[in-house]
């Protein structure tokens, strides 16, 4: 069983982000006759320290939601606010700080570097944040059952193995919110249990919140709110 680390042992950073708020956000691809959503066109607030499950049918915009919050896409109307800052007003330098210190993402497409080893993919991220020691990273890899794969190129790993590497990489930075887009889609129940405990430990350690997007599975987390996309 993964041990919860004390909150005192937190990656170094400056300020914290306490909320992500959506006000009337509507994707441009959304038709007027779309089914009622708890997020699109609504007033929604995600709070630091709480977990949220966003259940969505395929094609309803869960990956778009993640891209909107982390500033990668702007094809929507309405406002997204990180604390009291509208995302469209943030300059590139501020976005760099947000992505290195406040919001960490597990993308559905993973975005690993295929020609780098599993270890190199994780350490590349950690070198930007100085969040974990090599020993801590190695412990996470061992817990995920990937010790024998750490020096293999990511492109040669199965998608399930790549998912576990992407999860570990996302945890190797300070964050107030973890955005997870179908992070367990190719994992069996045993690996889901292991990786969810690892994520819960880090969420607890950093006092962070999580927005987990899923096609329907709830996964073993304690959620403050279930939302329908």
Query: What's the distance, CA 150 to chain centroid?
Result: 22
**Residue 200, C-beta contacts closer than 8 angstroms, at least 6 positions apart:** 2, 4, 221
**Phi, psi (deg, nearest 5) at residue 162:** -65, -40
Q: Strand pairing of 43-47 and 51-55?
A: unpaired
Query: What's the distance, CA 194 to chain centroid?
Result: 17
Q: Please list the pLDDT of the chain residue by residue as tens digits (229 residues).
A: 444 444 334 676 678 999 999 999 999 988 665 568 999 999 999 999 999 999 988 888 999 999 999 999 999 999 999 999 999 999 999 999 999 999 999 999 999 999 999 999 999 999 998 999 999 999 999 999 999 999 999 999 999 999 999 999 999 999 999 999 999 999 999 999 999 999 999 999 999 999 999 998 889 999 999 999 9
Q: Which pLDDT score, from 0 to 100, does residue 57 have?
A: 84
Q: Which pLDDT score, from 0 to 100, does residue 187 have?
A: 97
- Output the CA torsion sign for 17, 49, 79, 213: positive
pTM for this prediction: 0.92
Under CATH, what is the fold of the domain 48-70+90-228? Rossmann fold (3.40.50)
Cβ atoms within 10 A of the Cβ of 14, count? 8
How far apart are the C-alpha atoms of 24 and 39, rounded to whole Å?
A: 8
DSSP string, 130-150: --S-HHHHHHHHHHTT-GGGT
Give the chain's end-to-end CA distance (angstroms, integer).
33
């Amino acid at each position: 069983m993964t041990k919860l680390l004390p909150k005192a042992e937190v990656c170094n950073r400056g300020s914290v982000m306490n909320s992500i708020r959506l006000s009337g956000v509507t994707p441009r691809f959304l038709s007027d006759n779309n089914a009622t959503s708890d997020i699109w066109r609504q007033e929604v607030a995600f709070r630091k320290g709480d977990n949220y499950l966003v259940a969505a049918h395929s094609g309803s915009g869960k990956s778009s939601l993640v891209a909107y919050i982390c500033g990668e896409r702007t094809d929507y109307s309405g406002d997204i606010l990180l604390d009291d800052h509208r995302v469209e007003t943030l300059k590139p330098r501020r976005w760099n700080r947000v992505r290195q210190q406040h919001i960490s993402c597990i993308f559905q497409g993973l975005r690993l570097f295929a020609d780098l080893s599993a270890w190199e993919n994780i350490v590349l991220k950690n070198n930007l944040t100085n969040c974990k020691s090599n020993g801590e990273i190695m412990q996470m890899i061992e817990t995920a059952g990937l010790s024998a794969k750490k020096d293999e190129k990511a492109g040669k790993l199965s998608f399930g193995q790549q998912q576990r590497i992407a999860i570990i990489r996302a945890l190797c930075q300070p964050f107030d919110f973890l955005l997870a887009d179908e992070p367990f889609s190719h994992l069996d129940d045993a690996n889901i249990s292991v990786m969810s405990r690892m994520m819960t430990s880090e969420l607890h350690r950093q006092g962070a919140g999580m927005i987990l997007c899923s096609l329907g599975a709830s996964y073993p987390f304690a959620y403050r709110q279930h939302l329908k996309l």
